[in-house]
């Protein structure tokens, strides 16, 4: 080997669960190439070739060079991922202690994980040939279509795409005929994307902002007068605005300035928050390309959005969690709508928080980020209090709408008809008579949560989980909502053979049935996962609601978020009690958020709204403080408890979970982990457990967990980094499925 030429080592993130990078040599063909981090490479891995991402180019490695394999080839001539996304991924690898390959797998569009998909889109482009410059058009006079095509192409000497020509009614037989005469040529050319005009970004006039909204926009844009040049730079803003306070209007008017500066905006919304309504609001406001990344897109459609964002021609990108990784050529702003929403945390594989990583990304790109919500997470409130985020409060509903009044109905000993309290039925009748709409919220689909034998007390449980099966009637079956196991219903109790099997409790199906009996003339629209399976079903239901005709909407949490129902004046919240007593330390936080979000659907327009919450525990602290519509009153009650226990936001936690076909294997493995942990010296970090998960058996597997906790984030991460290499060699680690969850949001 020539000692003067430095060695080139390519460090690659290879799709594999292993928590490490892999080093390779350049390909054998020895062609001189410029390697850059972010490039895709096809690399040999085990017996296969896989698509990896080059993350660094080094001149030495700890591995003996003769052990290194060369990559097969580079897939593209330029990096697929820009430096900002690379840095973001590297941060994620460190912070979540996760496998590099899996992190990059999340960051790369699905289509680009395939070696045969090109990074740059090549499109069929027709162009005039040299020969055609010389001929007289008159020589083609017997073929007017060809004359027309040739004239058009002569006016565009750089060529026109096949799609564009088709739009001009120039068809391919005509073009092929011209090609046969040697007059035009077909080339594959890089797709070029147009930019939007920055001087006419608005399609409609904006609303006049109220003082708090204007202050919010000015603060984010870093300008005090609206005509001042804004300086977009990194800062995190917590836009804490009550439901209906016009947060979206703040987003829109901030984005307007960003677009005028020629920059792009990335808007993340919760998984079920990306409604056609939301998208429509952005598209109606702006005269620029607004593209959505949602789960109904094919891999190729997603790639197309990704490419346009990367090229800078998509002005606004709206998407759910994974849209976080969409590169932008001219990044200007990131918005996280409903920042408290649980769907921002990925619950399997790479367990990242898109909200937290978005803040990291905004810092990397040096752009502002807005976290909007009516019910901030405790973490975000804490960060605002500590001065890490700027708080931008919106305390009033916009446009003169009032916050709804809140009423708690004591269900204890209440007289019921069709499972509903009689006073509630009266209120509903009254509302419908006034021509109003009602939203009935019940966060449980199916007919009833329990099917019980009246003679012996047997009830239907899942064979795979520690859970009851939900009874469904449309069609009739039992369904486990935890593992999706389904079974038929026997006419007889399997224990005592009685036929007196009874549905206990209410799901949305049953409420639908009950309300139809009580209000036979009223249209009832049920919106849950079962009634919206078909494409466009949700949209059609919402269209019906938006006609404004009196109706009763029954819905699960699908309906809780983001929707604007101007005609709903009464919101009924039913059966929320279980959330008040769950063992997850965040359960009350999540329940309070859900209640306020649902309540926020009432009275959003001219007519005032009312919320009736039915409970068997009307004195509960959460309900009492929310009755004043007061999230901060609730916080003041709930936060001290967190402080006492040292849980987030006062402490930092990570969860180690293990599951196995036998309970003792899972718990034994975690005991070994804790033993390893205790051998380490980090006294500032505690390990709690192992304890069984809240649902110990799920989908046929037994689940245990250990919580690692510290008052110091750095110490926690150091301990994890020291612990993981000790876990991986444990013999039992192969007998269980285990994972680490940093900043877990749900303890199930």
Regarding 399 and contact with ligand ADP (CB under 6 A), the answer is: yes
Among the residue ranges 107-115, 243-251, 472-480, 513-521, the one whose residues contact ligand ADP (CB under 6 A): 243-251
Nearer to ligand ADP, 118 or 399 (CB): 399
**Number of chain positions touching ligand ADP (CB under 6 A):** 17
Phi, psi of 377 (to 5 degrees): -65, 155
Structure tokens at 681: 């010296």
Nearer to ligand ADP, 247 or 567 (CB): 247
List Cα–Cα distances, 523 to 437, 444, 520, in angstroms: 10, 21, 8
Among the listed residues 290, 384, 465, 592, the single contact to Zn ion using CB under 5 A: 465
Phi, psi of 732 (to 5 degrees): -75, -15
Among the residue ranges 202-210, 454-462, 518-526, 537-545, the one whose residues contact ligand ADP (CB under 6 A): 202-210
Regarding 453 and contact with Zn ion (CB under 5 A), the answer is: yes
Regarding 564 and contact with ligand ADP (CB under 6 A), the answer is: yes
Nearer to ligand ADP, 209 or 442 (CB): 209
Nearer to Zn ion, 311 or 483 (CB): 483
Regarding 241 and contact with ligand ADP (CB under 6 A), the answer is: yes
* Residue 482: contacted member of Zn ion, ligand ADP, none (CB under 5 to 8 Å, by partner type): Zn ion
Among the residue ranges 100-108, 241-249, 310-318, 434-442, the one whose residues contact ligand ADP (CB under 6 A): 241-249
Closest distance of CB 604 from ligand ADP, Å: 6
| Measured distance CA(686)–CA(60) in Å, rounded | 38
Among the listed residues 35, 193, 485, 715, the single contact to Zn ion using CB under 5 A: 485
Nearer to ligand ADP, 162 or 210 (CB): 210
**Number of chain positions touching Zn ion (CB under 5 A):** 15
Partners of residue 129 on adjacent β-strands: none
CA 565 from chain centre, in angstroms, equals: 23
Do 18 and 99 meet the contact criterion of CB atoms below 8 Å apart?
Answer: yes
* Per-residue interface string for the shown chain with ligand ADP, residues 356-395, x marking contact by CB under 6 A: ----------------------------------------
Sort 536 into a burial class: Cβ within 10 Å, 0-12 / 13-18 / 19+. Answer: exposed
Nearer to Zn ion, 77 or 495 (CB): 495
Regarding 664 and contact with Zn ion (CB under 5 A), the answer is: no
Regarding 207 and contact with ligand ADP (CB under 6 A), the answer is: yes
Among the listed residues 210, 222, 624, 629, the single contact to ligand ADP using CB under 6 A: 210
Among the listed residues 213, 377, 427, 614, the single contact to ligand ADP using CB under 6 A: 213
The contacts of residue 615 (CB under 8 Å, 6+ apart) are 408, 409, 410, 411, 576, 577, 623
* Residue 480: contacted member of ligand ADP, Zn ion, none (CB under 5 to 8 Å, by partner type): Zn ion
Among the residue ranges 21-29, 209-217, 427-435, 533-541, the one whose residues contact ligand ADP (CB under 6 A): 209-217
Regarding 243 and contact with ligand ADP (CB under 6 A), the answer is: yes
* Residue 495: contacted member of Zn ion, ligand ADP, none (CB under 5 to 8 Å, by partner type): Zn ion
Strand stretches in 278-435, DSSP E: 290-293, 316-319, 331-337, 368-373, 390-394, 405-410, 416-417, 420-421
| Measured distance CA(221)–CA(304) in Å, rounded | 30
Nearer to ligand ADP, 212 or 409 (CB): 212
Question: Closest Cα partner for 59 from 6, 102, 107, 111?
Answer: 6
List binders of Zn ion among 487-546 (CB under 5 A).
493, 495-496, 498
DSSP code string of 478-524? EE-TTT--EE---SS-TTT--S-EEEES--HHHHHHHHHHH-TTSEE
| Measured distance CA(611)–CA(559) in Å, rounded | 15
* Residue 399: contacted member of Zn ion, ligand ADP, none (CB under 5 to 8 Å, by partner type): ligand ADP
Closest distance of CB 406 from ligand ADP, Å: 17
Among the residue ranges 310-318, 457-465, 539-547, 599-607, the one whose residues contact Zn ion (CB under 5 A): 457-465
| Measured distance CA(526)–CA(256) in Å, rounded | 37
Sheet of 685-698: strand order equals 685-698, 701-710, 652-660, 737-742
| Measured distance CA(552)–CA(438) in Å, rounded | 5
Regarding 245 and contact with ligand ADP (CB under 6 A), the answer is: yes
Regarding 647 and contact with Zn ion (CB under 5 A), the answer is: no
The three-class DSSP label of residue 556 is: coil
* Per-residue interface string for the shown chain with Zn ion, residues 167-196, x marking contact by CB under 5 A: ------------------------------
| Measured distance CA(727)–CA(24) in Å, rounded | 27
* Residue 496: contacted member of Zn ion, ligand ADP, none (CB under 5 to 8 Å, by partner type): Zn ion
DSSP code string of 352-390? -BHHHHHHHHHHHHT-EEEEEESS--HHHHHHHHTTSSE
Partners of residue 267 on adjacent β-strands: 318, 335
Regarding 248 and contact with ligand ADP (CB under 6 A), the answer is: yes
Question: Closest Cα partner for 394 from 271, 285, 513, 250?
Answer: 250
Do 626 and 591 meet the contact criterion of CB atoms below 8 Å apart?
Answer: no
| Measured distance CA(717)–CA(684) in Å, rounded | 11
Regarding 480 and contact with Zn ion (CB under 5 A), the answer is: yes
Do 654 and 667 meet the contact criterion of CB atoms below 8 Å apart?
Answer: no
Structure tokens at 379: 């973490």
Question: Closest Cα partner for 8 from 35, 29, 31?
Answer: 35
Among the residue ranges 24-32, 208-216, 446-454, 596-604, the one whose residues contact Zn ion (CB under 5 A): 446-454
Among the listed residues 102, 249, 338, 732, the single contact to ligand ADP using CB under 6 A: 249
Regarding 482 and contact with Zn ion (CB under 5 A), the answer is: yes
Among the listed residues 43, 51, 89, 209, the single contact to ligand ADP using CB under 6 A: 209
Chain residues that interact with ligand ADP, rule: CB under 6 A: 207-210, 213, 241, 243-249, 398-399, 564, 604
Chain residues that interact with Zn ion, rule: CB under 5 A: 453, 455-456, 458, 462, 464-465, 480, 482-483, 485, 493, 495-496, 498
């Amino acid at each position: 080997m020539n000692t003067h030429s430095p060695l080139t080592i390519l460090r690659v993130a290879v799709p594999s669960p292993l928590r490490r990078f892999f080093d390779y040599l350049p390909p054998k063909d020895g062609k001189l190439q410029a390697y850059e981090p972010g490039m895709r490479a096809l690399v040999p891995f085990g017996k296969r070739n896989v698509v990896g991402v080059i993350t660094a180019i080094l001149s030495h490695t700890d591995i003996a060079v003769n052990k290194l394999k060369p990559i097969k080839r580079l897939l593209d001539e330029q990096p697929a991922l820009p430096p900002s996304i690379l840095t973001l991924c590297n941060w994620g690898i460190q912070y979540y202690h996760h496998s590099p390959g899996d992190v990059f797998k999340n960051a790369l569009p699905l289509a680009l994980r395939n070696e045969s998909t090109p990074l740059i889109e090549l499109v069929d482009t027709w162009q005039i040939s040299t020969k055609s410059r010389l001929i007289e058009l008159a020589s083609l006079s017997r073929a007017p279509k060809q004359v027309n095509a040739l004239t058009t192409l002569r006016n565009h000497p750089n060529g026109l795409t096949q799609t564009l020509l088709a739009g001009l009614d120039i068809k391919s037989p005509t073009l092929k005929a011209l090609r046969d005469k040697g007059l035009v040529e077909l080339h594959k050319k890089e797709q070029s994307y147009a930019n939007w005009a920055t001087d006419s970004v608005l399609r409609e006039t904006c609303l006049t902002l109220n003082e708090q909204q204007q202050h919010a926009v000015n603060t984010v844009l870093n300008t005090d007068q609206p005509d001042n040049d804004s300086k977009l730079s990194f800062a995190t803003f917590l836009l804490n605005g009550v439901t209906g306070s016009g947060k979206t209007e703040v987003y829109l008017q901030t984005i307007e300035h960003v677009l005028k500066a020629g920059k792009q905006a990335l808007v993340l919304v919760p998984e079920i928050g990306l409604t056609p309504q939301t998208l429509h609001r952005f598209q109606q406001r702006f005269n620029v390309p607004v593209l959505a990344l949602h789960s109904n897109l094919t891999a190729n459609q997603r790639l197309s959005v990704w490419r346009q964002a990367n090229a800078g021609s998509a002005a606004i990108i709206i998407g759910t969690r994974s849209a976080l990784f969409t590169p932008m050529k001219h990044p200007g702003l990131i918005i996280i709508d409903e920042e408290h929403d649980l769907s921002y945390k990925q619950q399997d594989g790479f367990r990242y928080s898109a909200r937290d990583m978005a803040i990291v990304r905004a810092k990397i790109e040096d752009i502002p980020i807005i976290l909007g919500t009516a019910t901030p997470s405790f973490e975000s409130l804490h960060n605002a209090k500590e001065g890490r985020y700027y708080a931008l409060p919106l305390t009033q509903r916009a446009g003169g709408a009032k916050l709804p009044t809140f009423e708690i109905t004591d269900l204890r000993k209440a007289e019921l008809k069709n499972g509903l309290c009689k006073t509630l039925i009266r209120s509903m009748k009254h509302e419908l008579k006034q021509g109003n709409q009602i939203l009935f919220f019940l966060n449980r689909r199916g007919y009833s949560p329990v099917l019980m034998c009246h003679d012996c007390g047997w009830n239907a449980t899942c064979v795979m989980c520690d859970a009851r099966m939900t009874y469904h009637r449309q069609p009739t079956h039992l369904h486990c909502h935890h593992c999706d196991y389904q079974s038929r219903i026997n006419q007889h109790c399997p224990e005592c053979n009685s036929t007196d099997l009874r549905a206990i409790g209410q799901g949305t199906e049953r409420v639908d049935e009950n309300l139809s009996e009580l209000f036979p003339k009223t249209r009832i629209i049920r919106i849950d996962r079962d009634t919206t399976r078909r494409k466009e079903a949700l949209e059609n239901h919402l269209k019906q609601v938006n006609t404004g005709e009196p109706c009763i909407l029954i819905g699960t949490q699908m309906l809780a978020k983001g929707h604007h129902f101007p005609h709903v004046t009464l919101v009924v919240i039913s059966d929320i009690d279980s959330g008040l007593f769950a063992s997850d330390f965040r359960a009350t936080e999540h329940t309070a958020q859900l209640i306020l979000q649902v309540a926020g659907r009432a009275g959003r327009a001219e007519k005032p709204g009312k919320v009736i919450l039915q409970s068997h525990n009307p004195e509960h602290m959460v309900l009492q403080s929310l009755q004043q519509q007061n999230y901060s009153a609730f916080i003041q009650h709930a936060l001290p408890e967190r402080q006492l226990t040292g849980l987030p936001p006062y402490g930092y936690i990570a969860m180690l979970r293990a599951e196995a076909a036998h309970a003792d294997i899972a718990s034994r493995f975690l005991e070994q982990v804790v033993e390893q942990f205790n051998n380490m010296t980090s006294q500032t970090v505690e390990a709690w457990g192992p304890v069984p998960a809240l649902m110990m058996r799920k989908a046929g597997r037994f689940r245990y967990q250990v919580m690692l906790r510290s008052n110091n984030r750095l110490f926690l991460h150091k301990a994890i980094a020291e612990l993981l290499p000790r876990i991986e060699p444990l013999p039992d680690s192969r007998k269980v499925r285990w994972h680490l969850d940093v900043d877990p949001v749900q303890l199930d």
